[in-house]
A = this chain, B = another copy of it.
Amino acid sequence: MMRQVALDDTLAIAIGAGILGTGGGGSTYLNRLRLNNELRQGERSVPVIRADDVPDDALVCAVGGMGAPTVSNEKLQEGQEIKRAVRALEEHLRQKVYAIVIGEIGGGNALGPMITALQCGTPVVDGDGMGRAFPELDMDTFMIYGAAPAPFALADAHGNVVIFERIGSAKQAEAFARSLTIEMGGSAGLVMPLMTGAELKATVIRHTLSLAKRIGEAVLDCRARSIEPSATVAELCNGVVLFSGKIIDVDRRTVQGFARGKLVISAFDDFNRKLEIDFQNENLVARSAGQVICTVPDLITLVTLEDGEPIGTESLRYGLRVAVLGLPAPKELKTPEALTVVGPRAFGYDVDFRPLPGDLL
């Protein structure tokens, strides 16, 4: 059982979170640098607690970065914006936050909350609301299973903090926060949702921080032994290697606050055997020879072939040699309620979700 995150752990967690990020969730590189920097101050570590250790009436909040990864890689955080938003909500509600929750375990958003936890002097919960990354803030198990969308807060690098005090629905929260994130320059810090310990326990996907660390450790172990890591990672996550090959085309635009596009990978042994992937911050649908072979909410992740380094959709480029992993989603994302929000039709694809066998956890 994981009790803390120390400087030695951040590389493994960053790799694992990147793999769970399915192309999105923001850069682990930048947030890992920031987390390491924070951990080095006074030789600290981040206390990690289980969701079940949070008292039912305690206040917790999920935090993360909002915006397109293409933007947040270049428009750096100021560093204190999420803490500032947490403090504003505490002041607004006259209640202290007991623990910080990871909003999405995928990508840099796995690491950011630990920075906030250190800054706020609270532990972080081993778990998250997605078990991966998703592009919209209504797409987490907290919202899907009934947490209140408001109050929540958005903050930017210039010290601006906005509290959404009464909001009708998670979809509405997403629309307002997205529009303001764009006005804030395309990336912002988000504190959402606020929950009681009881609400957290009813909705969180447990142990995903531990999972990210295990995945990263497996990758590092393969690297040390000069083994291509993709099959090992797939096995660890109950998944499969969907494809291996070279990226031969990337069409990507930053539109309405998202990095949207399509990529094509061609097999090494047969140029005409191809895999096409549609993405919207995250990889969403993989097709081969016109057939859909894997869709959201199952995880479609690109890693570099040689060393298993996860590749964000903002870093896709011609010529990269990659393995494509297909990992089954956590069971919490595969209920009928969840599929309405995070199934392929929720993203505008007229295909049914045909799950990979098994569950991520």
Contact = CB atoms under 8 A, between A and B. Distances in A.
A4 interface: no
A166 interface: yes
A182 B153 CA distance: 19
A163 B160 contact: no
Given A153-B165, A160-B164, A176-B180, 19 more contacts: A84-B166, A88-B165, A88-B166, A92-B92, A92-B165, A158-B168, A159-B166, A159-B168, A160-B168, A160-B172, A160-B176, A161-B165, A161-B166, A162-B162, A162-B176, A163-B165, A179-B179, A179-B182, A179-B183
A193 to B, nearest CB: 16
A351 interface: no
Interface of A: 84, 88, 92, 153, 158-168, 172, 175-176, 179-180, 182-184
A84 B84 CA distance: 25
A182 B183 CA distance: 12
Nearest to A167: B160
| Copies of this protein, total | 2
Nearest to A85: B165
A165 B166 contact: no
A232 to B, nearest CB: 45
A297 to B, nearest CB: 27
Given A175-B183, A183-B175, A183-B176, A164 B166 contact: no
A164 B184 CA distance: 13
A161 B159 CA distance: 21
B172 A158 contact: yes
Contacts of A176: 160, 162, 180, 183-184
A158 B171 CA distance: 13
Contacts of A164: 160-163
A248 to B, nearest CB: 39
A85 B17 CA distance: 40
Contacts of A180: 176, 179-180
A179 B159 CA distance: 18
Contacts of A92: 92, 163, 165
A168 B84 CA distance: 14
Nearest to A89: B165
A179 B182 CA distance: 9
Contacts of A88: 165-166
A153 B162 CA distance: 9
A164 B153 CA distance: 9
12 contacts: A84-B166, A92-B92, A159-B166, A160-B167, A160-B176, A161-B165, A162-B165, A163-B164, A163-B165, A175-B183, A176-B184, A180-B180
Nearest to A184: B176
Nearest to A92: B92
A190 to B, nearest CB: 14
Contacts of A159: 166, 168
